[in-house]
Amino acid sequence: MKQPSGPSNSSSAPKHAALGLLLLLCTGLSHAHSGDGIVGGFLAGFMHPLSGLDHLLAMVAVGIWGATLGRPLLLTLPIVFPMLMVVGGVLGIANVPLPYVEPGIAMSVVVLGLAIAAAWRAPVAVAVAIVGIFGVFHGFAHGQELPASAAPAAYAAGFVICTGLLHLVGIALGALKSLPRGTQLLRASGALIAATGVWILVGMPGVA
């Protein structure tokens, strides 16, 4: 009988899985920007979070922050964000007025990036409130941009599933904290995420 591989191979499996997910998402991102073959419904909803750098970074950051905070937020934050996204999506579809949506989305990238960079051990209620509020903003944007031909339920399922996958990528990256200098690397990535969020925010019309 073939003997199982040594511990070095098993420890590398999460890294390979994370790399595979990242490659898959990058491929999806290029297709989302080209628009080829994307129609209303589940596929459009799945691709939408990949079509904007602000959405993508915020969702990955939620996973990284949850991973650095550990349980219960490791599981809670990636659940709360999609749930509140659905609420925001319903508000967007219904055209309920919600001010400062785009600045709010950009600020989510800044705040989540800073939380990672500062290794902020936020209380559970505070972390959930922050992620939940930003989830509403992201979901509202998805809902407002719902294609005319899309089935709302299928579209919502698509962007929620894609969001969950992006959270998993963030959680996989957060596992780097167990490696030598992993914490410093994660904090540096948080600073980069926050800086990108500031760049997005400054580039908005009427802000700069």
**Tokens matching residue 95:** 């055209």
Sort residue 98 into left (φ over 0), alpha (ψ -120 to 50) or beta: beta
Per-residue pLDDT averaged across 154-159, rounded?
Answer: 84
How would residue 149 be classed by pLDDT, with cut points 50, 70 and 90?
Answer: low
- pLDDT tens readout for residues 159-206: 889 999 999 999 999 988 888 888 999 999 999 999 999 999 998 765
Distance CA 5, CA 82 (A): 37
Q: Are 135 and 160 in contact (CB under 8 A)?
A: no
Instruction: List Cβ neighbours of 46 (8 Å cut-off, separation of 6 or more).
Output: 28, 158, 159, 161, 162
Q: Where are the domains of the chain?
A: 37-202
- pLDDT tens readout for residues 61-106: 999 999 999 989 999 999 999 999 989 988 988 889 999 999 999 9
Distance CA 164, CA 8 (A): 28
